[in-house]
Amino acid sequence: MPVEYMNPSGLHPPFDNMYSHVSIAHGGARYRIGGQVAVDENGKNVGVGDMAAQLRCCYEMVSRALRAIGLGWQNVTHLYTFTVNMDEYMAQEQPIAREFFANTPPPSTLVEVSRLVDPEWLVEVQADASS
């Protein structure tokens, strides 16, 4: 079942239209996809030092996890992103993210952290979804 996204009146407009304030998943199962980082299927780091390459890889890994459970980005109810460099992330995010969730961005949380588990990782993306 697709997720309904909305931005209720009385809340500020989403910055750069890159997220929604609310998602509504009517019925169906709930899924949580653990944090995905820029690591390929062989366990090798991807895009070391390249925020755009790492972000694209993270989104692709989330896409693979969604497909594995028969879902797509239209089923994402919340996206959580952790980055070690907010300015660089913000400079790269919009065109890459649009490739994956087009014009229906889910509610999201974006946090800058001092580091991720592997110091070569610049970004980590986690998703909740519903069918």
In the chain, DSSP finds a helix count (H) and a strand count (E) of: 2, 6
Each residue's pLDDT expressed in tens, for the chain with a length of 131 residues: 578 888 888 888 887 888 888 888 888 889 999 999 999 889 999 999 999 999 999 999 999 999 999 999 999 999 999 999 999 999 999 999 999 988 888 999 999 999 999 999 999 999 999 98
**pTM, whole model, 2 decimals?**
0.87
Dihedral, CA atoms, 105, 46, 116, 49, nearest 10 degrees? Answer: -100
Domains and CATH numbers, the chain: 26-130 (3.30.1330.40)
Rounded (10°) angle between helices 51-68 and 86-101: 40
